[in-house]
Amino acid sequence: MAATFTWTQEYGASGSSTKSDLGISGNLFNFKNADDATAANYTTYPVVAGTNSYDVWLLGKFTGSFNKVDNTQFWMSTDFSPNTGLTVQWSCQDAYQTPSTGDTYASAAIPTADPGSQNVSITGDTTGCLEASGYTDWIVLQLQTTTGAAAGDTSLATFSLQYDEQ
Amino acid sequence: MSKLNTINGSPPETTGEKVDSLIRRRESAKFELAKTTKQLLEAGVKLGHQETGQITCPASFSPYLEQYEKYGNLEFLWEAKYKDGGTLNQWEGSVEHLWTDIDQKRLQELRLISLFDYPTTNQEKRQIITLHWQTGIISFLNGIISQDIKTYCSTPRPKNKPIQLVLKKRLRRSFNTPIDENSDLLPYFTSVDEFYLYNRWIFGWQVKGTKEKKVIIINPNGEVEIGE
């Protein structure tokens, strides 16, 4: 039995938050003006141009039997196109915080290509690994916009996670 | 996908030029979709569709799709051959062995065997990459392997230095931000709900306690590169 991977999103106030398994594909998450784990309501909670979305706190979840999972790398494979006024910021955090529209946690430019080395930490360590079922640390994403952003649906963005399994 | 509200949006132009521009962009996007899909599939990437569960693959891989899905969405499986003639396969029935189940003291050779056949007149049509444990040499059956790779892989292991097996799967999973079911664009999307599966194998040996090693990377289409 190999490792089974799924995305998980944590949302809600720190201390009473909820972890929700999203799956590996399909309707995972969107950037919107709400903190929940439902992808399908971004038209109800649009991001006003010039403001930020709520940040999204994702984790990689690994279950099943494996010796080791490590070298976890995350990047944005496809940026919005056009991306005028749209910037996805990110960071990796080793402690959960209540999502907000502030830019405290998603504070760095997200890699747009395979970073080449582990950039998603595990238990706070960027050389960390899982040797039993567990989670990576939190991948925090946020859409930050300017008033120059066009109205309506953005194009699709694509995100990738790569890991080594032994 | 996300939706933005703005007060600065300009009304769309309704001229013939606008129509021309839209047709140009649409036709270009259709061509790009076809071209990039072909190139991704040739590289061994599998396109999955969440709603239907279907995997898109080249016609040449279709006969092996059932096995691919049965064996954990992998294009290659390992098989250990022991000096005493015994074998250990990665999968035995519905059980998958971990590579740490391989008894390296008894190991004669470790083979990575493709699920797919290679177009060849050889009787054995699968692509097989074999690590000969006693010599450390890696050999290839079928597939197009460059001379550089063959030279790299034909150097024997250092004598009197214990080695350990290097065998990892490098798995990449990519997904889109989805479109809202209430979006007015939804009726015009035909393949929005896709994800991408891209597997590679890190295969070789390393001298215990050192950085001395011989490692190759095997791509899901059978192409081989020298490892990091």
Domain positions in chain A: 3-165
Q: Cα dist. B85→A143, B108, B133 in Å?
A: 58, 9, 14
Mean pLDDT of chain A: 92
Looking at residue A81, its pLDDT comes to 86
User: Which chain A residues in 66-85 lie under 8 Å from chain B, judged by CB atoms?
Assistant: 66-67, 71, 77-78
Looking at residue B6, its pLDDT comes to 54
Looking at residue A1, its pLDDT comes to 62
Question: Percent of chain A at pLDDT above 90?
Answer: 77
Interface test with A, best of B1, B4, B173 (most A CBs within 10 A): B4
Residue A27 has pLDDT above 80, yes or no: no
* Interface size between A and B, measured as CB pairs under 8 A: 158
Q: Do B170 and A71 touch (CB under 8 A)?
A: yes
Using an 8 Å CB-CB cutoff, list chain B residues near A59: none
Looking at residue B192, its pLDDT comes to 65
A15 pLDDT band, cuts 50/70/90, is very high
Stated as kind and residue range, the H or E segment containing A31 is none
Residue B117 at interface with chain A, using a CB cutoff of 8 Å? no
Looking at residue A30, its pLDDT comes to 86
CA distance B92 to chain A (A): 11
Q: Are strands B138-141 and B163-176 parallel, antiparallel or unpaired?
A: unpaired
Q: Where are the domains of chain B?
A: 17-226
**Residue A86's beta-bridge partner residues?**
A145
Tell me the whole-structure pTM to 2 decimals.
Answer: 0.88
A42 pLDDT band, cuts 50/70/90, is confident
Looking at residue B9, its pLDDT comes to 55
First to last CA, chain B: 36
Question: Which regions in chain B score pLDDT beneath 70?
Answer: 1-13, 51, 191-192
Q: Do B183 and A46 touch (CB under 8 A)?
A: no
Residue B105 and residue B84 in contact, taking contact as beta carbons nearer than 8 Å: no
B1-12 confidence digits (pLDDT tens): 666 665 555 556
Task: Give phi and psi for B53, each to the nearest 5.
Answer: 75, 5
Task: Give phi and psi for B4, each to the nearest 5.
Answer: -115, 145
